Chains A and B, each alone.
Chain A
Amino acid sequence: TQRMHLIQIDSVQRWMEDLRYMTEVE
């Protein structure tokens, strides 16, 4: 259900696409 919900909200989807390869580097 949470994933279905996620797809409906484009701004969150875009955030997660960016987040997937974002790390806080040492």
Chain B
Amino acid sequence: RAAQGRTYGNLGNTHYLLGQFRNAVKSHEQRLLIAKEFGDKAAERRAYCNLGNAYIFLGEFSLAAEHYKRTLQLARQLKDRAVEAQACYSLGNTYTLLQDYERAIDYHLKHLIIAQDLNDRIGEGRACWSLGNAYTALGNHDQAMHFAEKHLEISKETGDRS
């Protein structure tokens, strides 16, 4: 049964890489079921993240957000700060797709704080880029300028010419 769980996870990832997102969801749902049977929180966390990703490419952004929220809860339970940051970043982007910019900003700020704690300058740069765009969408140009300047400063430091 444990091997079945791992195999469903691998199958889900293969379907995903092939662009077969419905099949990816089916496999990752099975993987999730087996992870729950075993109380395997790390595997459960991976399955929720993979499901969120597949729902993004199916255009089902609300479902993606629900799955990323479960990823975030489990990342916190598992005390994995890098995964927590990644989940916040995914949620920020998903709420941007849903045009809910206030929620997007909440999650991008959470991502920014963790990236700063972890001294992840690339993550911090991406958070600033995302925040600049979200504030622009809200018409808050002062905040947009603040984050655009921070993004520029970090991009120079990390040598990101694009």
Contact = CB atoms under 8 A, between A and B. Distances in A.
Interface of A: 2-3, 5-6, 9-12, 15-16, 19-26
B61 A2 contact: yes
A21 B158 CA distance: 23
A11 B16 CA distance: 22
Interface of B: 6, 9-10, 13, 16-17, 43, 45-47, 49-50, 53, 56-57, 59, 61, 89-90, 93, 96-97, 99, 126, 129-130, 132-133, 137
A4 to B, nearest CB: 12
Contacts of A22: 53
A2 B93 contact: no
Contact of A19 (B6, B56, B126, B133): B56
B97 A5 contact: yes
